């Protein structure tokens, strides 16, 4: 029996599809009601009935507040949709699950659908990816594997066009769907598809074109025919007077957009509208194709800019690419195809159906994936043997090696592998712990082989894998890539800040594993309510942690440990990330011998319009402060760049100020993304200042450590210093101040270790800490420690004094630890 998933689903913003891989081919299922491949991703409610797809879409005009669409755009957020008919709310995950359940009804074969490959935009972050898997689980899928949409599109193309020579060729996938945009650089190497790089925007697609039609064409025209104080604002506010009109006009705009792909003009009818003064308005707004193209031009040109970024990063010219593969419903728009070809100078390829390509590619991928966590087989209660098989299910070779390991009692057992057409027969052979066979493949065909195990009497022994299926001439996937860096957040107490240490780099092939060792920054007392946090964020490692997206954290509290965890104790960390972006972190505490493990469940993204406005205000203050400093220093280049950033900040501030608290669009998420990018720009623009400081700090740290090493260092410490100095040309030439700071931290750790062996230093530090007693957090504990410290001081007990100093230091507030006086005394940088 086959254990492959076989079913692929395109869970789209506007439309969703389901397809199945079977014996080398893919079939896209049609809705038994209406016989359409696509299911509109729209859900409606009426009394105790739920409508999904075309029925819900048709019902929107009657009761728009009981119908929801475009909810994919809010996957991974804490937002919910209020449903008038229910008197309750539904989350994007719940609504997506309803669409997935409806897609199941397209399959009329009688088989149970318990596993599926579901596609996601490459630019989906980890939170959005997890939300998609959750929707799959709610829909009843016990196994959900995620596949990035550009890979799915490339699989659909590569496995369809047998005539094209794709060996070692590369192209761009241009995926413009209903709600998201992805562009990916794809290359075929040795018969496998690999995504080399990508850019994307989770808030750019056909639904944005619909909104532009409404906001830029329809609203101004209605403003000419009636009196409205703020028609657009009242439509977008959930409690606004014209909120129902917003949903209706978006639907009409979508219909007009589709019509404009074939005609030079389309009409949007607005009936039964009253303006602010009660005047009745019935209007027909005519939209020309040229008007439509004018309002979407900037958005389409923005996609071209993302394509240019990929070419620049990968040192490619347009002539290096075979074509631009167009997929996604919005690429039906003639202007999109024409403009991309015009701006990029690369031929566009429209040879595959842009509507179903993602589902078809997902099904091809599903035909190579096993249902159980990627294993080739899983033990069955009916089988006395356990088998783990390895082979490529899609191959460009004429022969494929099959290998398998068996566990159990193999005494007297034999095996035989035969092809379904009788062209290959391995013959009866003794079953060993490991077997290998080279299986000949029929070119361009789906090859089936049957594996049979028998006992000494010739009776068949049931096993968990009896069918081997290999598609010859089909392309497989080398692995999905990570769209953003994943980084560990590390405290930098002395600088009152944090820094990032990269775990997995952008474009790393998944799955992957990473190991790190960190030191405990403060003593964690057994039984205390305090804790240490292992935090992971998503975003560029060269940026500040605050500009990246939090993914999750592993918390270890004092109530969980078996003994005190002393400052400086090492924690061994292991991070594992699956192909579907599940992240598992494991921590081993060397000080207690305990292990902790957790699968991160990223929190839903939550954006408050009020909080967003205040964050943008703080960002503006920071830009103005940096701008003043650059002007005082006479740095014209910095002034020019920061002025541009300030203009961008003022733009998003104006956009945020115009948002209603109950805004029904996803504009606040777009504004937050823009705010984050502006914060990253500021971080980059000020990197030269931080770079100079990091270099100066390093020189000072090296000089001070050199003096200490000569007088009191051991062989290991001398070796560390010499090794760092030997590396100077590498890290001092870096433009990343964080890299230089890491080296300074390394030297600081060595210097601290030497100082903590010095009786004079320890006594001086104790005296200084006693003087700072009033600032300590726990006065009772401080008194007890100081009393013990005085006794240790008198009897020259260096070991005891070292521990007491460490405990007293941890009672100091962070701002006191980072004060110039404390840093000057302790030598902490």
Residue of higher predicted confidence among 76 and 599: 76
Is the separation of the CB atoms in 146 and 129 below 8 Å? Answer: yes
Out of 60-69, 208-217, 715-724, 801-810, least confident range: 801-810
> Cβ contacts of residue 535 below 8 Å, gap of 6+?
488, 489, 550, 552, 553
Q: What one-character-per-residue DSSP string does 509-574 give?
A: EESEEEEEEEE-SS-B-TT-S-EEEEEEEES-TTS-GGGSEEEEEEEEETTT-SS-B-TT-EEEEE
Identify the pLDDT of residue 811.
Answer: 85
User: What mean pLDDT value characterizes the chain?
Assistant: 88
Q: What is the mean pLDDT of residues 369-393?
A: 68
Identify the pLDDT of residue 164.
Answer: 64
pLDDT over threshold 80, residue 140: yes
Confidence label for 817 from pLDDT (cuts 50, 70 and 90)? low
pLDDT over threshold 80, residue 604: no
pLDDT over threshold 60, residue 50: yes
3-class secondary-structure state, position 210:
helix
Query: How do residues 294-323 score in pLDDT, each as one tens digit?
Result: 999 999 999 999 999 999 999 999 999 999
Q: What is the mean pLDDT of residues 395-422?
A: 92
Q: What are 557's two structure tokens?
A: 């509290």
Please say whether the dihedral angle defined by the alpha carbons of residues 715, 492, 601 and 510, taken in this order, is positive or negative: negative
Q: What is the mean pLDDT of residues 641-658?
A: 92
DSSP type of residue 299? H
Report the largest interatomic distance among the alpha carbons of the chain, rounded to a whole angstrom.
96
DSSP type of residue 824? H
Identify the pLDDT of residue 377.
Answer: 36
Is the separation of the CB atoms in 406 and 385 below 8 Å? Answer: yes
Identify the pLDDT of residue 826.
Answer: 53
Confidence label for 633 from pLDDT (cuts 50, 70 and 90)? confident
pLDDT over threshold 50, residue 828: no
Identify the pLDDT of residue 821.
Answer: 54
Q: What are 304's two structure tokens?
A: 């071209």
Between CA 431 and CA 417 the distance in angstroms is 12
Q: What are 431's two structure tokens?
A: 């079953």
pLDDT over threshold 60, residue 706: yes
* Ordered alpha helix ranges (H), 283-388: 289-313, 334-344, 357-366
Query: How do residues 440-488 score in pLDDT, each as one tens digit?
Result: 999 878 899 999 999 989 899 988 777 888 888 888 887 788 888 999 9
Identify the pLDDT of residue 496.
Answer: 52
pLDDT over threshold 60, residue 186: yes
Query: How do residues 15-46 score in pLDDT, each as one tens digit?
Result: 999 999 988 889 999 998 888 999 999 999 99
Identify the pLDDT of residue 466.
Answer: 72
Residue of higher predicted confidence among 816 and 439: 439
DSSP β-bridge partners for residue 467: 450
Identify the pLDDT of residue 356.
Answer: 95
pLDDT over threshold 50, residue 376: no
CA nearest to 596, candidates 529, 534, 642: 534
Query: How do residues 711-732 score in pLDDT, each as one tens digit?
Result: 989 999 999 999 999 999 888 8
CA nearest to 195, candidates 485, 473, 503, 508: 508
State the burial class of residue 590 (Cβ atoms within 10 Å of its Cβ: 0-12, 13-18, 19+).
Answer: middle
The counts of H helices and E strands in the chain are 23, 37
CA nearest to 75, candidates 22, 133, 131: 131
DSSP type of residue 773? G
Query: How do residues 244-268 score in pLDDT, each as one tens digit?
Result: 999 999 999 999 999 999 999 999 9
Give pairs for 104-113: CB < 8 Å, separation 24+: 104/18, 104/139, 104/140, 105/32, 106/18, 106/29, 106/30, 106/31, 106/32, 106/39, 107/7, 107/18, 107/20, 107/29, 108/32, 113/7, 113/140, 113/141
Q: What is the mean pLDDT of residues 530-539?
A: 85
Identify the pLDDT of residue 163.
Answer: 61
Query: How do residues 111-134 score in pLDDT, each as one tens digit?
Result: 889 999 999 999 898 889 999 999
Between CA 380 and CA 377 the distance in angstroms is 9
Q: What one-character-per-residue DSSP string does 671-711 give?
A: HHHHHHHHHHHHHHHTHHHHHHHHHHHHHHHHHHHHHHHHH
Give the pTM.
0.79
3-class secondary-structure state, position 784:
helix
Is the separation of the CB atoms in 805 and 762 below 8 Å? Answer: yes
Query: How do residues 674-692 score in pLDDT, each as one tens digit?
Result: 888 888 888 878 877 878 8
Identify the pLDDT of residue 612.
Answer: 86
Identify the pLDDT of residue 51.
Answer: 95
């Amino acid at each position: 029996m086959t254990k492959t998933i076989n079913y692929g689903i395109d869970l789209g913003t506007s439309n969703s599809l389901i397809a199945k891989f079977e014996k080398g081919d893919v079939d896209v299922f049609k809705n038994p009601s209406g016989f359409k491949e696509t299911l509109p991703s729209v859900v409606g409610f009426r009394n105790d009935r739920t409508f999904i797809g075309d029925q819900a879409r048709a019902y929107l005009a009657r009761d728009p507040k009981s119908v929801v669409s475009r909810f994919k755009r809010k996957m991974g957020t804490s937002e919910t949709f209020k449903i008038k008919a229910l008197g309750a709310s539904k989350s994007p995950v719940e609504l997506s699950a309803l669409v997935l359940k409806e897609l199941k009804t397209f399959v009329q074969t009688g088989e149970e659908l318990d596993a599926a490959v579901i596609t996601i935009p490459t630019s989906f972050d980890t939170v959005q990816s997890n939300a998609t898997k959750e929707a799959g689980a709610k829909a009843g899928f016990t196994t959900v594997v995620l596949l990035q949409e550009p890979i799915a599109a490339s699989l659909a193309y590569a496995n369809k066009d047998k005539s094209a020579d794709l060996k070692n060729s590369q192209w761009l996938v241009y995926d413009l769907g209903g709600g998201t945009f992805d562009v990916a650089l794809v290359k075929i190497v040795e018969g496998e598809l690999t995504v080399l790089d990508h850019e994307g925007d989770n808030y750019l697609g056909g639904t944005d074109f619909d909104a532009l039609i409404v906001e830029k064409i329809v609203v101004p025209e209605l403003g000419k025919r009636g009196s409205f104080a703020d028609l657009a604002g009242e439509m977008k506010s959930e409690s606004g007077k014209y909120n129902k009109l917003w949903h209706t006009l978006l639907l009409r705009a979508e219909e007009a957009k589709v019509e404009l792909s074939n005609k030079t003009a389309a009409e949007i009818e607005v009936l039964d509208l009253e303006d602010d003064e009660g005047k009745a308005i019935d209007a027909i707004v005519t939209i020309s194709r040229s008007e439509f193209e004018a309002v979407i031009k900037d958005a389409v040109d923005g996609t071209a800019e993302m394509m240019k970024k990929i070419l620049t990063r990968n040192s490619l010219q347009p002539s290096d690419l075979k074509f631009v593969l167009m997929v996604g419903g919005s690429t039906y728009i003639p202007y999109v195809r024409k403009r991309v070809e015009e701006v990029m100078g690369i031929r566009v390829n429209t040879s595959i159906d842009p509507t179903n390509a993602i589902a078809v590619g997902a099904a091809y991928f599903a035909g190579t994936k096993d249902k159980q966590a990627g294993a080739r087989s899983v033990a069955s209660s009916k089988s006395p043997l356990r088998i783990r098989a390895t082979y490529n299910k899609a191959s460009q070779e004429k022969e494929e090696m099959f290998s398998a390991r068996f566990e159990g009692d193999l005494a007297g057992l034999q095996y035989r592998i035969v092809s379904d057409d009788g062209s290959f027969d391995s013959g009866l052979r003794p079953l060993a712990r490991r077997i290998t066979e080279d299986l000949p493949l029929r070119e361009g065909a789906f090859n089936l082989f049957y594996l049979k195990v028998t006992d000494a009497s010739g009776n068949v022994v049931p096993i968990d894998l009896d069918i081997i299926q290999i598609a010859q001439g089909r392309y497989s996937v080398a692995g999905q890539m990570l769209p953003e860096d994943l980084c560990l957040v590390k405290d930098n107490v002395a600088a009152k800040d944090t820094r990032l240490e990269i775990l997995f780099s952008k474009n790393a092939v998944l799955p992957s594993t990473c190991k790190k060792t960190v030191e405990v920054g403060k003593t964690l007392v057994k039984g205390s309510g305090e804790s240490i946090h292992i935090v992971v964020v998503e975003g560029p490692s060269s940026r500040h942690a605050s500009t990246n997206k939090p993914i999750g954290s592993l918390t270890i509290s004092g109530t969980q440990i078996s003994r005190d965890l002393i400052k400086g104790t090492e924690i061994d960390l292991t991070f594992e990330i699956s192909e579907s972006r599940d992240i598992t972190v494991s921590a081993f505490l060397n000080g207690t011998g305990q292990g902790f493990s957790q699968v991160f469940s990223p929190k839903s993204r939550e954006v408050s319009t009020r909080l967003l406005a205040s964050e943008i205000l703080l960002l503006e203050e920071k830009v103005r402060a940096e701008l003043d400093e650059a002007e005082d220093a006479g740095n014209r280049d910095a002034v020019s760049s920061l002025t541009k950033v300030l203009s961008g900040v003022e733009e998003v501030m104006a956009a945020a100020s115009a948002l209603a608290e109950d805004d029904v669009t996803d504009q606040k998420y777009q504004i937050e993304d823009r705010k984050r990018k502006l914060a990253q720009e500021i971080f980059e623009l000020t990197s030269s200042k931080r770079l100079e400081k990091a270099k100066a700090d390093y020189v000072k740290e090296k000089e001070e450590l050199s003096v200490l090493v000569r007088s009191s260092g051991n062989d290991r410490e001398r070796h560390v210093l010499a090794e760092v100095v030997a590396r100077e040309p590498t890290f001092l030439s870096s433009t990343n101040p964080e890299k230089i700071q890491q080296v300074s931290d390394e030297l600081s750790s060595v210097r601290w270790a030497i100082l903590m062996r010095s009786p004079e230093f320890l006594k001086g530090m104790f005296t200084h800490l006693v003087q700072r007693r009033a600032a300590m957090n726990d006065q009772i504990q401080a008194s007890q420690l100081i009393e013990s410290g005085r006794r240790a001081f008198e009897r020259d007990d260096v070991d005891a004094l070292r521990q007491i100093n460490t405990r007293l230091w941890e009672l100091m507030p962070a701002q006191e630890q980072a004060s110039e006086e404390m840093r000057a005394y302790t030598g902490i940088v």
